[in-house]
Amino acid sequence: MSNIEERVKKIVAEQLGVKEDIATDASFVDDLGADSLDTVELVMALEEEFECEIPDDEAEKITTVQQAIDYVEKNAQ
Amino acid sequence: MTKQVALVTGASRGIGRAIAERLVEDGFFVVGTATSDNGADSISAYLGENGKGLKLDVANPESIAEVVKTVSDEYGAPTVLVNNAGITRDNLLMRMKDDEWDEIINTNLTSVFRMSKAVLRGMMKAKTGRIINISSVVGATGNAGQANYAAAKAGMIGFAKSMAKEVGSRNITINTVAPGFIDTDMTKELGDDIKNSLLASIPLARLGEAREIAHAVSFLASEGAAYITGETIHVNGGMFMP
């Protein structure tokens, strides 16, 4: 059973087509080359992996790997 | 192989019904919607085992969410959406009430935004999708007494072009079919003198048939149209050539 950080990084890697060896402070857009539609898809993938619904105004605040991990830890399992 | 699911709004009669029937011929499982239970039942009846009729009010966001969820859960996420449902509330601008304007914009244009957004998630996941809006020649030419309808129909075209740019990278296309003067219940309401003067302006000198709109929709939903997006196809017998 992998922990949340590993699961988040795995999804980021899959969605953005980067290696799983990602820094937790990496920004999706600035460091990982995501465009705005990629970030929307990424949030969709996180919702499915962690079986939660991320409201649009919360989703907009998730711009780095760490922020995604924090959100999931706080709101899902 | 399971069939792809096509969702057609306003499918109980006229152009919507012709589209639903044509997409069945193309091998889709077709979900058609109508505003009443009776309408939904009649769609289920004519589609038989190839589809299902559901009640949907395209002006109601909750109704849209419910129907898209039902379709996705029971038949699979739609890979084709045909935004066909529409109404008219014709009046001269000088006499047009706010609610005549709002109702048309809400039912004919806002519905396109809401429906398209609702199916987009499934299409993004599937990395394929075709959205086809049924606009009108009036959206391109304007028409006295139809400022509301023409504005909504023109709005669909701008919406489609914008969405085409946003989601093209995900292999999702969005196109528009703009019918001219088609023989349906909606055009039967027109008076004879209007009808005759309209006919005089159509080079092919006849009304179009609903089925002739359905052929264009069928093409846009097909593999052959994979590289077409943000486009408007006018099917109007030559009455307007952009």
Residue range B91-102, pLDDT digits in tens: 999 999 999 999
Chain segment B144-187, per-residue pLDDT in tens = 999 999 999 999 999 999 999 999 999 999 999 999 999 988 78
Nearest residue in chain B measured CA to CA from A47: B121
Partners of residue A44 in chain B, C-beta under 8 Å = 121, 124-125
pTM: 0.92
pLDDT of residue A77: 60
Place of tokens 């505003």: B35
Closest residue in A to B122 (Cα–Cα) = A44
Give the mean model confidence (pLDDT) for residues B192-213: 92
What is the distance, to the nearest Å, from the Cα of residue B35 to the centroid of all Cα atoms in its chain? 14
Query: pLDDT confidence of A1, banded at 50, 70, 90?
Result: very low
> Which of the listed ranges A4-13, A20-29, B145-154 does the model predict with the highest average pLDDT?
B145-154
Task: Kindly give, in sequence order, each residue whose CB lies less than 8 Å from that of residue B7, ignoring residues fewer than 6 positions away.
Answer: B30, B31, B33, B68, B71, B78, B80, B81, B82, B115, B119
**Higher-scoring residue by pLDDT: B141, B190:** B141
| Contact at CB, B169 and A37, closer than 8 angstroms | yes
Catalytic annotation present for B149: yes
Whether A41 sits inside 8 A of B167 (CB atoms) is: no
Nearest Cα to B116, choosing from B163, B153, B161?
A: B163
CB contact under 8 A, B121 and A44: yes
Q: Is A37 on the interface with B (CB under 8 A)?
A: yes
A41 close to B (CB below 8 A): yes
Helix axis angle for B111-126 and B147-167, nearest 10°, is 20
CA–CA min distance A12, chain B (Å): 15
State the nearest Cα–Cα gap between A61 and chain B, in angstroms: 20
Q: Does A53 touch chain B (CB under 8 A)?
A: no
